[in-house]
Amino acid sequence: MNTIRFGTDGWRAIIADEFTSANVRLVAQAIAQYAFSAGIAGRGLVIGYDNRFLSERFAAVAAEVISGNGIPVLMTDEATPTPVVAYAARELGAAGAVMITAGHHPPEYNGVKFIPDYTGTTATESNAAIEDYLNQLTASDVRLLPIKIARERGLVRWIDPKPTYLAHLHGILKYSAVCRGQLRVVIDPMWGAGIGYLDDLLGEGCSKIEIIHGYRDVLCGGQLPEPTEVNLADLRKAVIREQADLGLALDGDAGRFGVIDRDGSYLTPNEIIYMLLHYLTEYRNWRGAVARTMATTHMIDRIAAEYGLPVVETPVGFQYVGQSLIKHRSILGGEENGGLSVQGHVPVRDGILALALVVEMVASSHGMSLRAYQEEIQQKFGKLVNSRLDLPCDPDQKNFCLSRLEQWSPREIDGKQVIERRINDGVKLVLDDGSWVLVRASRTEPLFQVYSEAPDADNLSRLQSSACQALGLDPGIL
């Protein structure tokens, strides 16, 4: 039995250790067998890849196996963002897509993500089925067809999905507002697959566009290709140096986003998501359900209530948000770690779309900064601060903590009544003052995640301490 396991976002491993051509072949064979079992193989599969080391070679390896099984392959002609590959699969009527990427993970990693066609099958279901096939495969089961022969037989052809994808985003954006704003922006694609997308999309809509880290570097500048505050120091400096209105960052496969305001301050995804929700409901009159994960800010709930919109709370993981975009026709779906999509778009996280909407929002505010716009929202809906703690643990300790967590059902925390206990992904306690805390075990790493939100930092700290005590961990680690 092999050791390849699909997490919530596919399979990832260290290059030349577990992530090898031989293992990619096994994964591709399992995907091919899944496509046949689901009756969708004849529609073909799109294959894309990011800018990581050997990604284009691993994509070719996958294409040789999938075409070797007689399944048509549509291969992107260059490094392409995950949301663009997903969009191509939908527009071309393919059975789904295979993406070679490790997203925002360290540069020594690569991965394989299977993106279903979203006409019924969820990512969770397809991943489980692919794993089942993997457990039955050996190297001798892999069917190979050299890519040159596959091309001659018409089983592999190259595509460029960028033009149609950008045209699609033009249709979602209120592009007249973008052009009217004539903003100065700095774009940081973090050496990833998103290079050339935002600048082409914004085009003449901005008065000046500056690009940093806009070239392939398989070492990602020696840092994580993840647009968090700690990784965006160069973007912050560039925004201040260029006196720009915005700094816009993408992760390695352009699924996640990061934003710097004109004063150099970093806005968290939680902040950006609720600001975009307010903008789209107040100024573009979007109406419908709103989806967020259990770990995402409840400012979304406050804003949704103002406009009479239902909120769908999902387990942690964007695949669940994506399901709500389909099932409930949610107008917007967001997660706390930088994932966002909207109705009418593919139900995968798309940092390019998110940042384009941020540009539209700022351009429509007649020169107002993001912080000023945020203050207006907070004056009406109040203020919430949130945080996430990652608490590593060994397997024995994890089992002990899980047993403690199952019993965690206090009537109050820090003098505030617990009004609801939710258990569809870990344990989430909602308090009568609007605060909440969520404790869940990571599905992919040996650690517990503690998410919390409160009106101020002191209340937030006390929520975190209560969670540590519930797990049997020393609150002094905070």
Residue 327, in any domain of the structure: yes
Q: From the centroid of its chain, how far is CA 13?
A: 18
Q: Say if residues 207 and 237 touch (Cβ distance below 8 Å).
A: no
User: Within this chain, do residues 178 and 323 fall inside the same structural domain, yes or no?
Assistant: yes
Indicate whether 250 and 107 sit together in one domain: no
Q: What is the pTM of this model?
A: 0.95
Domain boundary among 138, 160, 182: 160
Distance of alpha carbon 280 from alpha carbon 162, whole angstroms: 25
198 and 299 co-located in one domain: yes
Q: How far apart are the C-alpha atoms of 159 and 91, rounded to whole Å? A: 12
pLDDT at 119: 52
* CA nearest neighbour of 98 among 120, 72, 119: 72
Shared domain check, 412 and 362? no
- What is the predicted pLDDT for the residue at 364? 93
In a domain, 6, yes or no: no
Of 107, 127, 160, the residue at which a domain comes to its end is: 160
Residue 5 lies in a domain: no
Tell me the residue range of the domain where 443 lies. 385-477
Residue 299 lies inside a defined structural domain of this protein: yes
Same domain as 448, residue 336: no
Q: What is the pLDDT of residue 1?
A: 55
How far is the C-alpha of 18 from the C-alpha of 367, rounded, in Å? 50
* Domain CATH for 473: 3.30.310.50
Structurally, the chain folds into a number of domains equal to 3
Q: Do 176 and 150 reside in the same domain of the chain? A: no
| Cβ(97)–Cβ(112) below 8 Å | no
Tokens representing residue 446 in the block: 């040996």
- The residue among 110, 99, 93 whose CA lies nearest residue 42 is 93
| 128 and 66 within one domain | yes
Has residue 2 been placed in a domain? no
Looking at 364, 381, 398, the residue that finishes a domain is 381
* DSSP per-residue letters across 71-105: --EEEESS---HHHHHHHHHHTT-SEEEEE--TTS
Same domain, 303 and 182: yes
Residues 346 and 246 occupy one common structural domain = yes
Regarding whether 124 and 29 lie in a shared domain, the answer is yes
CA gap 476, 478 in Å, rounded: 5
Residue-level pLDDT, tens digit, the chain, 478 residues: 567 888 767 899 999 999 999 999 999 999 999 999 999 999 999 999 999 999 999 999 999 999 999 999 999 999 999 999 999 999 999 999 999 999 999 999 999 999 988 654 567 788 888 989 999 999 999 999 999 999 999 999 999 999 999 999 999 999 888 888 789 999 999 999 999 999 999 987 888 999 999 999 999 999 999 999 999 999 999 999 999 999 999 999 999 999 999 999 999 999 999 999 999 999 999 999 999 999 999 999 999 999 999 999 999 999 999 999 999 999 999 999 999 999 999 999 999 999 999 999 999 987 799 999 999 999 999 999 999 988 888 877 788 888 888 989 999 998 899 999 999 899 999 999 999 999 998 876 778 899 999 999 999 998 998 888 877 765 444 4
pLDDT value at residue 403:
87
In a domain, 4, yes or no: no
Q: What pLDDT is stored for residue 477 in this prediction?
A: 44
Same domain, 63 and 180: no
Phi, psi (degrees; rounded to nearest 5) at 396: -65, -45
Question: Domain of 297: which CATH number?
Answer: 3.40.120.10
- pLDDT of amino acid 476: 47
- Asked whether residue 120 is assigned to any structural domain, the reply reads yes
Quick check: is 1 in a domain? no
Are residues 246 and 154 both part of a single domain? no
